[in-house]
Structure 1
Amino acid sequence: MATTSTIYLPAEIRLMVVGHLLADDAYDANDRGMHERQRDLWNLCLVSFGWYEAAIKALYVAPQLWRGNKFTLFMKTVCPSRAIQNQQRRGHIRTPDFGSWVEDLNMSRLVHQSSNSQTARLLGNVKKSLTSFTAPQMGIAVNCLGIIAKCQRLKHLDMSLVPGSVFGFPRLKQLVHKLPELQTLHLPRSMALTRTTQEDGRWPSKLSTMSLGGSMDAELMLDFEWPPSLSRLVLRHCISFDTPVMEDLLSHDHLCTHLQALTLGRSNLEMFENGMGSEILYELQQLTYLKLPWDLLPYLFMVPPNVPDVADEEGELPILPLRVLEITKEYFSDHDAELDFSFALSRALDENLRNLLALGIERSCRPLLESRFQELDVKIWDHVSSIPDSELMNSGIDDLGIYFIEEDPE
């Protein structure tokens, strides 16, 4: 008679398997990849009690809440009702503190599932280990800010979906002031930037990445108080973002000397609508990464124009420190059809973009470069070959040459 035997694996091996699932790049950041990781971790929990002990904490690290009734079940587990808690006490039942295992709480896909009080209660139960929080579009109010301020390990805070009318910029800065570990902040898309006072607090010293939107006053941006460690700036969903506002924002002394990465989104309104270009990017002394719609390059003089006040005596543009350029589909529906973009870009690689080591393009932009795709790639790799290996290793650039990027839905 055939018998079966269980193969024993030490706890260390089981933990290594779980750690591999958490770190595996195959589980990318999109919905499907994260859902597959959760499914695999759940299946491990069902194998045996030993596997349950190894995988259960990992299952709660980054919960996926937007499918079916998952949010309701998650709330019942992490935030049990008083009746359930009383039953557990009477029965001397000890349950784990599931909320203390949550590190990444993403509520961006929730619509009507959560209320203001539920969100506040949930944040209160996960605050111990929370390092990343993405707020929902609905179900969040001023009462949640005080609880977020208690998440002392928080590194990434995304409030981009929250309506700007829920709370003002000074109140949000008061919250951020209390988060010493914060590194990334996405402000509400429709929030109006206003002046703040010393009573609103200072920016966290580790805050290096910000995403802005909403309305901006040109005069305010001239002396806006930027975080001292800010090096990456994303500008999306900006209202009335014309050339004067853009120049007043980017010409700030701190950005001119510290900004290393800049993203200009297609969702910004009124960019270059009057046809007025700007050489403001040439004032950003540390800018090594730029992402923007391809048809904005001529307006920013990123491809060689015939502009005497920008070009030098020989007619060439100054050399930019740019290492990585990523271009997305066009901003204008009626862009200049006469512009030979691939030719202009090829010239730029010999002139102002001669430091460029990587060019990322959306697949929809491929036809723009088709006629000179190989030529452009060769020129970029010539740039790469001229850089010492030690400098390349320290550059932090993952892809060299021409590569494709995912379309940004914004």
Structure 2
Amino acid sequence: MSSSISSDSSSYGLSTSPPSTATSPLSMSDLASELPETDFDLQSRHIPFEILELIMSLIPPPFPAALLYVSRAFYHASIKHVYQRPNLSPKNYLPFVTTISSSDIFGKYVRVLDLRFIIQSGKNSYTSRILRRCSKSVEEFYAPQTSFGYAPLISVRHCHKLRVLDLSLVCETVDLRELFLAIRNLQSLTVLNFPRSSVFCVGFDNSLWPPNLDTLGLAGGISDEFLTNTIFPHTITTLTMAHCPFIKTEAVHSLLSQLGPLLKSVRFAFPMMTLTTNGLDPILRYCPNLRQLSVPTDYITHRMLSPDNVSPGHPLEMLDLDCSGMLGQSNKIQADDIALAILEGLLPKVRIVRASIKLGWSKDDEEVSELIEVLSEKENGGLWIA
């Protein structure tokens, strides 16, 4: 972000400085007073401000910041949309922090705060400061890739409208006990993704879960004891597990036996180093109401689709097969295994299958062609290899 906004609509700045030599951020009234009065400005006075605001609200993101320079009326109708979902990068992050810190006005417009592209400049003090400034309005927060220490956790406590808290890219070690203490009273929080460098959580207090949690992403140094002994909220319908190097197969089965009937979407990501090569075969048995499943073939075999693990009429609709590309993984499940499961009524509702190119499937193969034909009979069905 720079202290001036280019008139080119392809550049998306966030500073509110007018096109002049000024280097420090100005308030809305300062900028509005310095805008030139144009013929269009005279005409726009006849447009009811409510209509102008409605027009601005219909513009899809990213909002073109160049509209700030059309007229005073356009400025006042556009400013909140410019800051609603700021497009932040390492180039414009520091001026954004300066602008947010220098005024109490702009922070109240921020709804989505996405810092996932902030790396070296993502200091704890900056993150904590902008969270405090945006605490009354922010609904989604995606943490930067570097640090997220104690000070940002304290600031999160005051973000009472927060619905999404995504810490999945944080490299710094985070104590999960401090994290849960920070979010326990966030009544609106529905999505929580653990940091991939979280530390063991021993003696966890089950009363610390946010009351309306719907989507949970488990990652980092969580232990088997955490999965086995924790009472997870019965509001969870979406589960993701990634970067869990210490979790064994028995602990995953314990988790699925508790949450399985509630889950509509499940995703496992490679690598999970202590999971056995067939550890996720019974996943459809544990999750009888699952609609979407994403799983690496490293942890399943063709027996995942056998009658021992799938009850007839299972409601699964989307199956996403990933693969590490390691030797022997591509032969563990084949296209005809899926086609037979559909035709035999075990998975009658499957209509979308996405397969990693590392599986070696080709549309010229007879088995793959048969699966394509079966899926093409479904509404909006098909096979995607990517």
TM exceeding 0.5: yes
**Structure 2 match to 1:330:** 323
Q: How do 1:152-231 and structure 2 match up within 5 A?
A: 152-163=160-171, 165-166=173-174, 168-196=175-203, 198=205, 201-231=207-237
Shift of the 327–117 alpha-carbon distance from structure 1 to 2, 3 Å rule, reads same
Q: Secondary structure at the match of 2:305?
A: coil
Aligned partner (choices 94, 99, 104) of residue 72 of structure 1: 94
**Structure 1 match to 2:30:** none
**Structure 2 match to 1:303:** 305
Tell me by how many angstroms 1:5 deviates: 6.1
Tell me by how many angstroms 1:104 deviates: 0.7
**Structure 2 match to 1:262:** 266
Shift of the 363–285 alpha-carbon distance from structure 1 to 2, 3 Å rule, reads closer
Residue 105 (str. 1) matches residue 113 (str. 2): yes
1:357–1:381 CA contact under 8 A, matched in 2: no
Tell me by how many angstroms 1:149 deviates: 0.6
CA distance in 2, matches of 1:219, 1:341: 35
Tell me by how many angstroms 1:64 deviates: 1.5
TM-score where L is the length of structure 1: 0.74
CA distance in 1, matches of 2:87, 2:328: 41
**Structure 1 match to 2:382:** 402
CA distance in 1, matches of 2:96, 2:329: 52
**Structure 2 match to 1:282:** 285
Tell me by how many angstroms 1:259 deviates: 1.6
Amino acid at match of 2:238: R
CA distance in 2, matches of 1:342, 1:158: 35
Kindly report the root-mean-square deviation, in angstroms, between the aligned alpha carbons of the 2 structures: 2.9
Q: Secondary structure at the match of 2:220?
A: strand
1:120–1:144 CA contact under 8 A, matched in 2: yes
Tell me by how many angstroms 1:77 deviates: 1.1
**Structure 2 match to 1:20:** 58
**Structure 1 match to 2:82:** 59
CA distance in 2, matches of 1:100, 1:337: 51
CA distance in 1, matches of 2:167, 2:247: 21
Identity percentage over the alignment? 23
CA distance in 2, matches of 1:363, 1:14: 47
Aligned partner (choices 298, 301, 318) of residue 311 of structure 2: 318
**Structure 1 match to 2:335:** 342
Tell me by how many angstroms 1:292 deviates: 1.7
Q: Secondary structure at the match of 1:257?
A: helix
Shift of the 175–267 alpha-carbon distance from structure 1 to 2, 3 Å rule, reads same
Write the deviation string for residues 103-153 of structure 1: whole angstroms up to 9, x where unpaired: 111112111213222221111111010001111233431122121110000
Tell me by how many angstroms 1:59 deviates: 0.3
Tell me by how many angstroms 1:197 deviates: 5.0
CA distance in 2, matches of 1:121, 1:11: 33
CA distance in 1, matches of 2:246, 2:288: 26
Write the deviation string for residues 169-194 of structure 1: whole angstroms up to 9, x where unpaired: 22211112121100000011122442
Q: Secondary structure at the match of 2:196?
A: coil
Tell me by how many angstroms 1:227 deviates: 1.9
CA distance in 2, matches of 1:278, 1:262: 14
Q: How do 1:235-250 and structure 2 match up within 5 A?
A: 235-250=241-256
Shift of the 364–193 alpha-carbon distance from structure 1 to 2, 3 Å rule, reads same
Q: Secondary structure at the match of 1:344?
A: helix
CA distance in 2, matches of 1:383, 1:353: 15
Tell me by how many angstroms 1:320 deviates: 5.8
1:354–1:383 CA contact under 8 A, matched in 2: no
Shift of the 322–120 alpha-carbon distance from structure 1 to 2, 3 Å rule, reads same
Aligned partner (choices 209, 233, 238) of residue 239 of structure 2: 233
1:239–1:269 CA contact under 8 A, matched in 2: yes
Aligned partner (choices 352, 360, 363) of residue 359 of structure 1: 352
CA distance in 1, matches of 2:384, 2:83: 33
Q: Secondary structure at the match of 1:74?
A: helix
Q: Secondary structure at the match of 2:326?
A: coil
Q: Secondary structure at the match of 2:59?
A: helix
Q: How do 1:73-152 and structure 2 match up within 5 A?
A: 73-80=95-102, 97-152=105-160
Amino acid at match of 2:374: K
Tell me by how many angstroms 1:286 deviates: 2.0
Amino acid at match of 2:55: V
Q: Secondary structure at the match of 1:21?
A: coil
CA distance in 1, matches of 2:66, 2:223: 53
Aligned partner (choices 66, 71, 81) of residue 48 of structure 1: 71
Tell me by how many angstroms 1:205 deviates: 2.0
**Structure 2 match to 1:293:** 296
CA distance in 2, matches of 1:181, 1:204: 8
Write the deviation string for residues 286-320 of structure 1: whole angstroms up to 9, x where unpaired: 22211123454426x33349xxxx27xxxxx5326
For structure 1, the residue ranges without an aligned partner over 5 or more in a row are 28-36, 81-94, 312-316, 385-399
TM-score where L is the length of structure 2: 0.78
1:251–1:280 CA contact under 8 A, matched in 2: no
Q: Secondary structure at the match of 2:339?
A: helix
Write the deviation string for residues 61-97 of structure 1: whole angstroms up to 9, x where unpaired: 11122142x11211121102xxxxxxxxxxxxxx770
| Segment drifting more, 330-339 vs 128-137 | 330-339
1:222–1:249 CA contact under 8 A, matched in 2: yes
Shift of the 402–325 alpha-carbon distance from structure 1 to 2, 3 Å rule, reads same
Tell me by how many angstroms 1:53 deviates: 1.6
1:318–1:352 CA contact under 8 A, matched in 2: no
Aligned residue pairs: how many?
Answer: 343
